Structure 1
Amino acid sequence: METPQHFTLKQVAESIRKTIAERYARTYWVTAEMHKLNATRKGHCYPELVQKEDDSIVVEMRGTIWKQNFERIQQKFHEVVKEPLRDGMELLFHVKITYHPLYNIGLEIIDIDPNYTLGALQKERQQTLERLNREGILNANQHLEMALLPKRLAVISQADSKGYSDFVTLLNGHPKRYHFNTFLFEATLQGDAAIQSIQGQLKRIEKIKHHFDAVVIIRGGGGEIGMHCYNNYDLAKAIATFPLPVLTGIGHSTNLTVCEMIAFRNGITPSDMAYFLLSIFEELDAPLDELLLKLPQQIRRVFQDVNNQFTQLTRSFQQEVQTALSEEKNRFFSTVKDFEFRVKHQMIHSNQQLSELRNQIRSLSGYLFESQKTKQQNLIRLLQVHAKSALNASEMKVRSSEETLNRNVTRNIQQESAKLQQAELHLKLLDPITVLQRGYAIVTNEKGVLSAKNQTESGEELKIITEAQELRAKVK
């Protein structure tokens, strides 16, 4: 049998390389998601390029960006997009299809169109706005009512951020020393990590929302770099539906992001936001300053008016009092004279009545005294007769009861003595010594006296107690 024609693996790989090089000799523009950039220390990059459908990867290829191309692409990307290349971006690549015996088919990336990416970012911004509008929450946060003096502020920022430092310094540095309570919730404020970080802090604040009047998101410096996160739908929705007013000052002056557009109030920088809060206090404070200037004059005027009124009222009151006193004095004298006349007339009439009553009382009292004396003597005689009769009857009853008691006591004593003798005899019969004298014995084991419930077993030791002695036995 003849040996069939065969090729080495290297020959096959070389054939594939030549075929691909001839078939795909020119370059192509390809759209794909850069899943991972995979930059190396030497400056080269080997990005993973994917295409997704319904969030599932349907195609994946290896890419290569050589150091020289990568530096050029990165610089141009910064100038146009204002952001560095990062994982997860939808990009338009200028590529050349290559084949390597060890790394298989790949794409050598020659250039990346930053304008396509800029359009994609703008498209994401527009899609987020349209979606929030469809859901009816685009202006939800702006329709909230902020406290008259928003001084309890939950600040989402970084502790070492210059923007945060400027914000706090301005609030506390006002000449009138307006009092603000600021509590820092640290978060990442740029790039993809900012989305989850800010949302997480908003959830923390919502749990204790009754402690705050508003939320302030401030980010100092950084220009336009890393601002794409503020066009994210999830973050924008979290701000739009937040139950407290959300104020933003994220440090840039062009192309407002979605989060800034839907926030209750937006400031270009943290300092602008601080000035806005101070202006609320100043606006309410200005009328007070004006009133403080006018208050002394108003007080003097009021005191003068009150003093004049008081003087007039005092004079009028004095006149009325004098008139009333004169009238009451005349009325009093008239009443006194009338009272004296009535009293004299009444006293004369009362004296006559007293004399008549005195004579009647003397006559009646003599008659009543004699009548009562006679009644008392009759009652004393009746009481003596009844007392003697009752005493005789009581003596007879006592004597009869005494005789009956003597007879009953003697009989009861005899009966009780007989009962005691019978009980004493019964107790002697029940005495254990008496029982043992009759030939009985007490048999016990470790549990106590043998009975139906406590039966002995073979080999058990028993104790036998008789009248004369105590024996020990063993059951066989």
Structure 2
Amino acid sequence: MESPTHFTLKQVAESIRKTIAERYSRTYWVTAEMHKLNQTRKGHCYPELVQKEDESIVVEMRGTIWKQHFERIQQKFFEIVKEPIHDGMELLFHVKITYHPIYNLGLEIIDIDPNYTLGALQRERQETLERLNKEGILNANQNLEMALLPKRLAIISQADSKGYSDFVTLLNGHPKRYHFNTFLFEATLQGDAAITSIQNQLKRIETIKHHFDAVVIIRGGGGEIGMHCYNNYELAKAIATFPLPVLTGIGHSTNLTVCEMIAFRNGITPSDMAYFLLSIFEELDAPLDEILIRLPKQIQHFMQGMTNQFGQLTRHFQQEVQSALQAEKNGFLNTVKDFEFRVKHKMTHSNQVLSELRNKIRSSSNYLFDNQKGKLDNHINLLQIHGKSVVNVNRQSIHNQENQLVRVLPRVFESETVKLEQAERHLKLLDPITVLQRGYAIVTNEKGVLSDKNKAMKGDDLKIVTEAQELRAKTDQTINR
């Protein structure tokens, strides 16, 4: 049996190469995603080109970019797109289809159209904006209310970033030394890695959001290099729906990214954002400066007005006090006159009683004397009638009676005289001047002289009159007896 016709593997590979070379003799423009660039140390690149559907790779091919082509492509791409070629980009490749016996089918990349990439970035930007608008969160962060003095700031940046350094220096270097509390949350700020890095830091800040007034994302310099990440939908959504105002100062971009557009406030540079925050303090501080200028004059005017008013009140008070004193003095004089009148009336009555007593004493004495004298005359007559014997018998009795009468009358007169003197002393003691000389005082309140019917109450103003002086007092405590 004869052997079938056969070919070597090399012959087959050569046949495939010739067929492909003849069939695909010209170049083509092909769109694909640069899954991995795979640049070697010699400068050649062997990128993995893929096409995805629903995030799944449906086609994958090997690519080749020789060093001399790559340097030219990279320079041109950077000049237009403002960032280098990197993994994950969707690109428009100018390719030649090749077949290699060892490396199999591949695409030799001759050029890359940077305008297509720039357009793709713009499409991503527009798609993100439309999606946020459709979900109703495009202006969500801008509708938040900023704190009156946003001084507690959560900063998302890199510690060694010049933008971060400039931002903090400006905040703390104001002549009025406004005080800001800043806390740094370090993150990657450019390229695809920035998307996840910034989102993670936003999640950290959200857990302690009560400690902050706003979030500041700052990135210094770099033009538009790596700025495509700020058009990413997930990152833009995280900023738009963040519960605190988000402020951005992420570089010298001529075209605003989505994150800048939907942020509460954006600045071209970190310095612009620092000046914005300082302007809030300056705006609130300006009226205080104006007040400090006007305050001395207003205080002087107020003090002058108060001095004039105080002078008027003082004069009015003096007049009121003098009027009150005069009224009290008149009341006291009336009280003294009334007291003197009552004393005089009492003394007059006492003198009348004393006179009546004197008259009674005289009448009683005369009656007693006349009675005794009549008895004596009777005895004399009886003696005369009965004779000398009776006279002699009764003489001694009469003599005794006369002696008794002599003794009784002085005692009666003396007793009545003592009573009279006591009455005179009593009247003298009732004299107000005598009472005051003995250490007593006349105490009055606004109702008159204190008595059982007019008792002093706590807090009453009292007037105390002694022999030597007139005193004023205020009742601190009262004790009922």
TM-score (norm 2): 0.70
**1:55-113 superposed Cα distances (whole Å, 9 cap, x missing partner):** 11111111111111111111110011111111111111111111111111111111111
Deviation at 1:335, TM superposition (A): 4.3
**1:414-441 superposed Cα distances (whole Å, 9 cap, x missing partner):** xxxxxxxxxxxxxxxxxxxxxxxxxxxx
Counterpart residue identity of residue 23, structure 1: R
Deviation at 1:334, TM superposition (A): 3.5
**1:224-248 superposed Cα distances (whole Å, 9 cap, x missing partner):** 1000000001111111111111111
Distance 1:345 1:230, change over 3 A: farther
Supply the distance in 2 between the matched residues of 1:255 and 1:214 (Cα, whole angstroms). 24
Q: Which residue of 2 aligns with 1:121?
A: 121
Supply the distance in 1 between the matched residues of 2:287 and 2:302 (Cα, whole angstroms). 20
Supply the distance in 1 between the matched residues of 2:69 and 2:15 (Cα, whole angstroms). 29
The answer as to 2:11 corresponding to 1:3 is no
Deviation at 1:53, TM superposition (A): 0.8
Supply the distance in 2 between the matched residues of 1:11 and 1:223 (Cα, whole angstroms). 54
Q: Which residue of 2 aligns with 1:284?
A: 284
Q: In structure 1, the residue corresponding to 2:142 is in which secondary structure?
A: helix
Counterpart residue identity of residue 229, structure 1: C
Supply the distance in 2 between the matched residues of 1:226 and 1:33 (Cα, whole angstroms). 17
Supply the distance in 1 between the matched residues of 2:142 and 2:155 (Cα, whole angstroms). 18
Deviation at 1:338, TM superposition (A): 5.3
Deviation at 1:332, TM superposition (A): 3.6
Query: Paired residues, what number?
Result: 349
Deviation at 1:280, TM superposition (A): 1.1
Supply the distance in 2 between the matched residues of 1:343 and 1:28 (Cα, whole angstroms). 143
Q: Which residue of 2 aligns with 1:73?
A: 73
Distance 1:340 1:271, change over 3 A: same
Distance 1:143 1:342, change over 3 A: farther
Supply the distance in 2 between the matched residues of 1:24 and 1:196 (Cα, whole angstroms). 42
Structure 1: unaligned runs, 5 residues or longer = 347-476
Quick check: 116-125 or 291-300, which moved more? 291-300
Supply the distance in 2 between the matched residues of 1:253 and 1:61 (Cα, whole angstroms). 35
The answer as to 2:243 corresponding to 1:209 is no
Q: After the TM superposition, which residues 55-204 of structure 1 pair with which residues of structure 2 at under 5 Å, given as runs?
A: 55-204=55-204
Supply the distance in 2 between the matched residues of 1:100 and 1:171 (Cα, whole angstroms). 62
Deviation at 1:339, TM superposition (A): 6.7
Deviation at 1:202, TM superposition (A): 0.8
Q: After the TM superposition, which residues 38-57 of structure 1 pair with which residues of structure 2 at under 5 Å, given as runs?
A: 38-57=38-57
**1:207-264 superposed Cα distances (whole Å, 9 cap, x missing partner):** 1111111111110011110000000011111111111111111111400000011111
Deviation at 1:333, TM superposition (A): 3.9
Deviation at 1:325, TM superposition (A): 2.0
- Identity fraction in percent: 88
Deviation at 1:190, TM superposition (A): 0.4
Supply the distance in 1 between the matched residues of 2:268 and 2:339 (Cα, whole angstroms). 97
Supply the distance in 1 between the matched residues of 2:176 and 2:332 (Cα, whole angstroms). 69
The answer as to 2:30 corresponding to 1:30 is yes
Q: After the TM superposition, which residues 219-368 of structure 1 pair with which residues of structure 2 at under 5 Å, given as runs?
A: 219-335=219-335
Distance 1:115 1:329, change over 3 A: same
Supply the distance in 1 between the matched residues of 2:205 and 2:211 (Cα, whole angstroms). 9
Distance 1:45 1:344, change over 3 A: farther
Q: In structure 2, the residue corresponding to 1:142 is in which secondary structure?
A: coil
Supply the distance in 2 between the matched residues of 1:12 and 1:343 (Cα, whole angstroms). 159
Supply the distance in 1 between the matched residues of 2:90 and 2:247 (Cα, whole angstroms). 31
Deviation at 1:343, TM superposition (A): 9.7
Supply the distance in 1 between the matched residues of 2:3 and 2:201 (Cα, whole angstroms). 73
Q: In structure 2, the residue corresponding to 1:88 is in which secondary structure?
A: coil
Supply the distance in 2 between the matched residues of 1:107 and 1:301 (Cα, whole angstroms). 90
Q: In structure 1, the residue corresponding to 2:225 is in which secondary structure?
A: coil
Counterpart residue identity of residue 38, structure 2: N
Structure 2: unaligned runs, 5 residues or longer = 347-481
Q: Which residue of 2 aligns with 1:370?
A: none
Quick check: 328-337 or 186-195, which moved more? 328-337
Deviation at 1:331, TM superposition (A): 2.7
Who wins on radius of gyration, i.e. which is larger? 2
CA RMSD of aligned residues (A): 2.0
Quick check: 335-344 or 104-113, which moved more? 335-344
Q: After the TM superposition, which residues 409-448 of structure 1 pair with which residues of structure 2 at under 5 Å, given as runs?
A: none
Q: In structure 2, the residue corresponding to 1:185 is in which secondary structure?
A: strand
Counterpart residue identity of residue 236, structure 1: A
Following TM superposition, the consecutive aligned residue runs of length 4 or more in structure 1 with deviations greater than 4 angstroms are: 335-346
Distance 1:80 1:339, change over 3 A: same
Distance 1:115 1:318, change over 3 A: same
Quick check: 334-343 or 256-265, which moved more? 334-343
Supply the distance in 2 between the matched residues of 1:343 and 1:121 (Cα, whole angstroms). 120
Deviation at 1:320, TM superposition (A): 1.6
Deviation at 1:134, TM superposition (A): 0.8
Distance 1:214 1:345, change over 3 A: farther
Supply the distance in 1 between the matched residues of 2:344 and 2:59 (Cα, whole angstroms). 135
Counterpart residue identity of residue 76, structure 2: K
Supply the distance in 2 between the matched residues of 1:97 and 1:263 (Cα, whole angstroms). 46
Q: In structure 2, the residue corresponding to 1:141 is in which secondary structure?
A: coil
**1:311-342 superposed Cα distances (whole Å, 9 cap, x missing partner):** 11111111122112222332344445657888
Supply the distance in 2 between the matched residues of 1:4 and 1:280 (Cα, whole angstroms). 91
Q: Which residue of 2 aligns with 1:17?
A: 17
Supply the distance in 1 between the matched residues of 2:344 and 2:140 (Cα, whole angstroms). 96
Deviation at 1:276, TM superposition (A): 0.9
Counterpart residue identity of residue 117, structure 1: T
TM-score (norm 1): 0.71
**1:271-314 superposed Cα distances (whole Å, 9 cap, x missing partner):** 11111111111111111111111111111111110000111111
Supply the distance in 2 between the matched residues of 1:210 and 1:66 (Cα, whole angstroms). 55
**1:367-420 superposed Cα distances (whole Å, 9 cap, x missing partner):** xxxxxxxxxxxxxxxxxxxxxxxxxxxxxxxxxxxxxxxxxxxxxxxxxxxxxx
Supply the distance in 2 between the matched residues of 1:337 and 1:316 (Cα, whole angstroms). 31
Supply the distance in 1 between the matched residues of 2:261 and 2:332 (Cα, whole angstroms). 89
Q: Which residue of 1 aligns with 2:371?
A: none
Q: After the TM superposition, which residues 398-417 of structure 1 pair with which residues of structure 2 at under 5 Å, given as runs?
A: none
